[in-house]
Amino acid sequence: MYTSTYVQKLYINPIIQYGAIPVFLDVTIPQYNIDVAQLEEAYTEKTKAVMIAHTLGNPFDIQAVKLFCDRHNLWLIEDNCDALGSTYTMNGITKYTGTWGDIGTSSFYPPHHMTMGEGGAVYTNNPLLNKLILSYRDWGRDCICVSGQDNLCGHRWDGQFGELPKGYDHKYTYSHFGYNLKVTDLQAAIGVEQLKKFPSFIEKRKHNWSKLYEALKDLQDKIILPAPANHSDPSWFGFLISIRPETGLNRNEVIKYIESKNVQTRLLFSGNIIKQPCFDELRSSNLYRVIGNLMNSDFVVNNTFWVGVYPGMTDEMIDYMAQVIKEAIEK
Ligand SMILES: Cc1ncc(COP(=O)(O)O)c(C=O)c1O
């Protein structure tokens, strides 16, 4: 199971909890996505899947990753939580991120492109994976009847499963150790309304990102600006900035100044995740593997931050943000 180190503790947790071995690869800058040159080195016969996030909306090199997965017969899971609405073009076909792999995931936690308050979605076009996903969502049930439905398949009372007697109610037959991950009707109602506004959210996010880029592009001797992946049209989650170390500027001082002017900043989530305290007890174990020295992930930990491109921001607000960032860097 491969992942890049810079981003999310959140999707690594289940890999560890499940007892699988995550393998961490470095990122490239200024894409802040997985360095595909390391993929082959990371592969072993035990490798089952590749799971990677599209960082802050910027698609990873889907073409290279897909070729790698096809070559080794691996599942591809796209963590699309930060990239809903991003597109990627391969062999003349343009598709949304999250639909290139076997499974895509979205988060509808409030800061994301659309929200349901909490919750998320998993998507696939593979009928078998779909059945498995629904089973894991619904306590691990074998039966596919939705709540309130009975005997859809007409075989509720005539199957034989595990060591249960023949004819045991299929409704209460469990083929997996699953969870209860259903969204509520209330969340769904919010999601339906958000979907109507979603296209305008994406346009506004792209607009805000481009406006920030224009305003900051003359500072490239001091900061590294983000770069969209080749063949992509990102639906940006945020705007990443790295301080060039040769400027002698201290990233924390820069963000403290920006925050003092009422502009919020964020670091790139967990940074180099294996440096986090949750790894303290794992460090001497063989419960994870690392490829190379994660030099760029460490660079991100020390020099990178980001600001939001929330669609509710006006041009005036974006101008103010850009002005404050300039002051922080030039003062
Ligand atoms: C890339 C990425 N993956 C996973 C998650 C986790 O999503 P949730 O908070 O819905 O569990 C997030 C949340 O911010 C995210 O940004």
User: How far away, in angstroms, is 162 Cα from ligand 1 center?
Assistant: 36
Residue type, 192: V
> Has residue 5 got a pLDDT over 80?
no
Residue of higher predicted confidence among 14 and 306: 306
Contact 270 CB / ligand 1 (< 6 Å)? no
> Has residue 71 got a pLDDT over 70?
yes
Neighbours of 52 (CB within 10 A): 24
pLDDT tier, 14 (very low <50, low <70, confident <90, very high otherwise) = confident
What pLDDT, on a 0 to 100 scale, did the predictor assign at position 68?
98
> Has residue 29 got a pLDDT over 60?
yes
User: How far away, in angstroms, is 152 Cα from ligand 1 center?
Assistant: 34
Q: What would the mean pLDDT of 230-246 be, rounded to a whole number?
A: 98
Query: CB under 8 Å to 262, separation ≥6 — which residues?
Result: none
pLDDT tier, 170 (very low <50, low <70, confident <90, very high otherwise) = very high
Q: Whose CA is nearest to atom 1 of ligand 1?
A: 81
**How confident is the prediction for the chain on average, in pLDDT?**
95
User: How far away, in angstroms, is 220 Cα from ligand 1 center?
Assistant: 30
> Has residue 6 got a pLDDT over 50?
no
> Has residue 63 got a pLDDT over 80?
yes
Is the Cα torsion angle 109, 114, 117, 121 positive or negative in sign?
A: negative
Catalytic residue list: 112
> Has residue 54 got a pLDDT over 90?
yes
pLDDT tier, 331 (very low <50, low <70, confident <90, very high otherwise) = confident
Contact 275, 299 (CB under 8 A): no
Q: Whose CA is nearest to atom 2 of ligand 1?
A: 81
What pLDDT, on a 0 to 100 scale, did the predictor assign at position 7?
47
Task: Tokens for 13, please give them.
Answer: 């947790």
| Mutation choice for ligand 1 from 109, 112, 235, 236, CB with most ligand atoms inside 8 A | 109
Closest CA to 267 of 291, 297, 244, 234: 297
What pLDDT, on a 0 to 100 scale, did the predictor assign at position 62?
98
What pLDDT, on a 0 to 100 scale, did the predictor assign at position 4?
55
Query: CB under 8 Å to 142, separation ≥6 — which residues?
Result: 135, 161, 170, 173, 174, 175
> Which tens digits make up the pLDDT trace of 99-130?
999 999 999 999 999 999 999 999 999 999 99
pLDDT tier, 12 (very low <50, low <70, confident <90, very high otherwise) = confident
